[in-house]
Structure 1
Amino acid sequence: MTELAVHPTPIPGLLVIDLPVHGDARGWFKENWQREKMVAAGLPDFGPVQNNISFNHAVGVTRGIHAEPWDKFISVATGRVFGAWVDLREGPSFGAAYWHEIGPDVAIFVPRGVGNAFQTLEAPAAYTYLVTDHWSEAAQAQYTFLHLADESAAIPWPIPLTDAELSVKDQNHPRLADVVPVPPQRTLVIGGNGQLGRALSALWKDRTDVDVVGRDRLDLADPASLDAFDFSPYAVIVNAAAFTAVDAAETTDGRREAWAVNVTGLGRLVEAARSHHAALVHVSSDYVFDGSQDVHGEDEPPSPLGVYGQTKAAGDQLVATLPEHYIVRTSWVIGEGGNFVATMAGLAQRGIDPAVVDDQIGRLAFTDDLAAAIDHLLTHRPAAGVFNVTCDGEPASWARLASEVFALTGHDPARVSPVSTAEYYADKDGIAPRPAHSTLDLSKIRATGFTPREQLAALREHLRTGAPS
């Protein structure tokens, strides 16, 4: 009996699966689709949602070549067919062809955009396939077709097409030279108006497969906005949107909005990613910790002090339920727009001498570095999980960093007065608790080949190129 095995083919992502078939005098039995065993053997965890059967009553029935906007898992319940596939996706393998005979002991995994066809060799043939999306007329409009007799593919049909039974539509499909290649699925950036969204827009400005949307197009706080948005074109979603007003989150209205965006809305986004088999990149925060540890690793259990941290910790748990996800945990974010560095530079220029907290310790994270780390993760695709991303170097207090800003902008760093957190907030109401230690362990992201910049060098570069004030 054949052992379960998954084999690659010359078409990237097209896989041949050997299926064990148990038989005796009564007939045979097989596990046609067994998620746990097949994923362990190397099949993608593709999540089928619909099962179709094509019954073919005569030898020579030939169907195709159709490239569809979903993944397919093909097998035969009875009979035998000759299967043929042509890569119609944009890229270097466009036009590559492969063929394989399929009986009850063989299955084929066909990725989105690869043209699929078959010819009945033994009838009746019940050709069955699992797909990753529900059929609709809108989905059918996205099919890409190739003529069965295309000379470039040169498929050696066992029964000549002149003697085969073909539909009129299949006889009128274009040759390869006239086929518009299936474009790759797109990348969606949510929160495009924020600091990280702007950094991702700048990094990916030359990519034609990236869509960046602001809150006017996709609002995580609005269920109707999420329900109306079409996520089907996207293989990757980067969530750069969040409610980040940590003090406002302690108020009645702010608490509701923080949960609406960071948990409820994110939960809907997670389900959209799940139903469309998209990878989700989500940005987390040092506020998921209470700061009692000097350095926080990715595996440290959450221990948030305030509402904002609680919502971020809850959101992280939702994202982690996806098979393809990257939670990018960061701290002390600096980018284009209002932020600590811009505030300190502005105070220095206006002659204001600030008191700054000196007992909260951590590292800065510049949005250019966060964007570069996200790009790195999506390019290299390490195993799903949490990745800490900030600048590297000696951790410092806010007061130390404020002094560096003053010095780097040509002002006396002694104008910055270090104070404790308790002193700084002594006469202020409605202040969220802050973690005393926000330093994140960077060894995991380094192990992927990404090298974070040293924070003072990054700060110097940021100010040299013009920090917003």
Structure 2
Amino acid sequence: MTELAVRTTPIPGLLVVDLPVHGDARGWFKENWQREKMIAAGLPDLGPVQNNISFNQAVGVTRGIHAEPWDKYISVATGRVFGAWVDLREGPTFGTAFWHEITPEVAIFVPRGVGNAFQTLEAPAAYTYLVNDHWSEAAQAQYTFLNLADETAAIPWPIPLEQAERSAKDLAHPRLEEVAPVPPRRTLVIGATGQLGRALAALWQGRADVDVVGRDRLDLADAASVDAVDLAPYGVIVNAAAYTAVDRAETPEGRREAWAANVTGVGRLVEAARRHRAVLVHVSSDYVFDGSADVHGEDEAPSPLGVYGQTKAAGDQLVATLPRHYLLRTSWVVGAGGNFVDTMASLAARGVDPSVVEDQVGRLTFTADLAAAIDHLLRADAPFGTYHLSNAGEPMSWADVAREVFAATGHDPARITGVSTAQYYAAQGRAEGDGTIAPRPRRSVLDLAKIRAAGFAPRDQLEALREHLGAAAR
């Protein structure tokens, strides 16, 4: 009996599956689709939503070549067919062909954009296929076709095509030189005006397959806005938007706004990504932890102190239900727009000698590095899951960061007075947890071992700080 195995082919992503078939004089039985075993063997998590059967009564029935906007898992229940596939996707393997006979012991996984065809060799043949999207006329309009007799593909049909039974539509399909390659699914960045959204737009500005949208197009806090955006064209969705008004989140109105954007909106995004088989990249925060651990690892249980942290932790749990996700937790973000580093540089230049909190410790995260980490995980096809990401280097307090800013801009770092968090707010007549000030984690140091193991090396935060200040000065 054949052992379950998944084999690669010259077409990237097109896989041959050897299926165990149990039989005796009465007939046979097979597990045609067994998610757990097949994923363990190397098959992608197909997520089928529709099962179709093509019943072919006569030998020689030939259909194709059709590239469809979904993944397919093909097998036969009875009979025997000759299958042929041509890569019609944009890229270096465009036009690559592969063929294989399909019997009950063989199944084929066909990725989106790979043209599929078959010829009945033994009839009757029940040709079955699972797909991970629902058929519709709109979906059919996205098909890409290739002529069965294309000379470039040079498929060795067992039954010559002139003797085969073909449809008039299949006879009219174009040759390879006339086929427009199937483009990759697009990437959507949500949060165009935020610090990370700007960094991603700058990093990906040369890519024609990236759309960056702001709240005017997609507002996470507005359910109707999320539902109104057609996410079907997108294979990757990067959520760089969030409600981040940490102190306002402690107020009754702010609490509702934070939950609407960071939880309800994220939940809708998760379901949209699930429905459209998209990878979701979601950015979270050190505020999901209470700061009691010296270093926070990815597996640490959430323990948020305030409303903002609670909403981010709840959003994290929703994102984690999606098999294809990257959840990046970060800390002390600095990028284009208002941020702590630029504020300190401005105070230094204006002769202001500030008091800065020194009992909160962490590392800076520059948005250029955060954007680069997202790009790396996607390009490297890194394992899905949660990653912590900040810049590297020795942890510092906010007061330490302020002193580094003053020194880097040619000012005396001794002008910075370090104070406790309680002293800082007491000088303003306020206190953490009083309904106007959110409690802050005292230690926000994130463990970077996992992101490094994925092949990404974060820059030292002081190097990134000086580069940021130099760019700002220019």
* TM-score band w.r.t. shorter chain: over 0.9
2:278 paired residue number:
278
1:435 paired residue number:
441
Counterpart CA distance in 2 for 1:207 and 1:464 is 27
CA distance 1:52–1:467, shift in 2 (3 Å): farther
2:107 paired residue number:
107
1:237 paired residue number:
237
2:61 paired residue number:
61
Counterpart CA distance in 2 for 1:383 and 1:49 is 24
Mapping 1:43-82, distance limit 5 Å: 43-82=43-82
Counterpart CA distance in 2 for 1:13 and 1:453 is 34
Counterpart CA distance in 1 for 2:391 and 2:102 is 54
Counterpart CA distance in 1 for 2:385 and 2:420 is 35
1:294 paired residue number:
294
Deviation at residue 438 of structure 1 after TM alignment: 0.8
1:106-164, Cα deviation, whole Å (9 max, x unpaired): 11110000000011111111111000100011110100000000000111111111111
The two structures have a TM-score, normalised by structure 2, of: 0.97
Deviation at residue 335 of structure 1 after TM alignment: 0.2
Structure 1 SS opposite 2:161: coil
Mapping 1:163-182, distance limit 5 Å: 163-182=163-182
Deviation at residue 24 of structure 1 after TM alignment: 2.1
Equivalent position to 1:444, from 441, 450, 453: 450
Equivalent position to 1:462, from 465, 468, 472: 468
Amino acid aligned to 1:386: T
Residues 328 and 386 of structure 1 are in contact (CA less than 8 Å); yes or no, is this contact kept in structure 2? Answer: yes
Deviation at residue 336 of structure 1 after TM alignment: 0.1
Deviation at residue 467 of structure 1 after TM alignment: 6.2
1:27 paired residue number:
27
The two structures have a TM-score, normalised by structure 1, of: 0.98
Structure 2 SS opposite 1:90: coil
**Is the aligned partner of 1:366 residue 2:372?**
no
Counterpart CA distance in 2 for 1:30 and 1:396 is 60
Structure 1 SS opposite 2:139: helix
Q: Which moved more, 1:343-352 or 1:115-124?
A: 343-352
Structure 2 SS opposite 1:271: helix
**Is the aligned partner of 1:327 residue 2:327?**
yes
Residues 373 and 450 of structure 1 are in contact (CA less than 8 Å); yes or no, is this contact kept in structure 2? Answer: yes
**Is the aligned partner of 1:118 residue 2:118?**
yes
Structure 2 SS opposite 1:16: strand
2:223 paired residue number:
223
1:314-333, Cα deviation, whole Å (9 max, x unpaired): 11111111212111111100
Deviation at residue 452 of structure 1 after TM alignment: 1.3
Counterpart CA distance in 1 for 2:404 and 2:463 is 11
1:253 paired residue number:
253
2:382 paired residue number:
382
Q: Deviation above 6 Å: which 4+ runs of structure 1?
A: none
Counterpart CA distance in 2 for 1:161 and 1:294 is 70
CA distance 1:467–1:69, shift in 2 (3 Å): farther
Residues 231 and 272 of structure 1 are in contact (CA less than 8 Å); yes or no, is this contact kept in structure 2? Answer: yes
Structure 1 SS opposite 2:163: coil
Unaligned runs of 5+ in 2: none
Counterpart CA distance in 2 for 1:440 and 1:169 is 58
Counterpart CA distance in 1 for 2:134 and 2:42 is 25
Counterpart CA distance in 1 for 2:275 and 2:182 is 21
Structure 1 SS opposite 2:226: helix
Structure 2 SS opposite 1:404: helix
Residues 147 and 174 of structure 1 are in contact (CA less than 8 Å); yes or no, is this contact kept in structure 2? Answer: yes
Q: Which moved more, 1:459-468 or 1:278-287?
A: 459-468
Deviation at residue 177 of structure 1 after TM alignment: 0.5
Counterpart CA distance in 2 for 1:110 and 1:274 is 20
Counterpart CA distance in 2 for 1:454 and 1:191 is 26
Deviation at residue 276 of structure 1 after TM alignment: 1.5
1:28-60, Cα deviation, whole Å (9 max, x unpaired): 221111111111111111101001111111111
1:42 paired residue number:
42
Deviation at residue 83 of structure 1 after TM alignment: 0.8
Residues 289 and 304 of structure 1 are in contact (CA less than 8 Å); yes or no, is this contact kept in structure 2? Answer: yes
Deviation at residue 185 of structure 1 after TM alignment: 1.2
**Is the aligned partner of 1:415 residue 2:434?**
no
Residues 46 and 277 of structure 1 are in contact (CA less than 8 Å); yes or no, is this contact kept in structure 2? Answer: no
Residues 362 and 437 of structure 1 are in contact (CA less than 8 Å); yes or no, is this contact kept in structure 2? Answer: yes
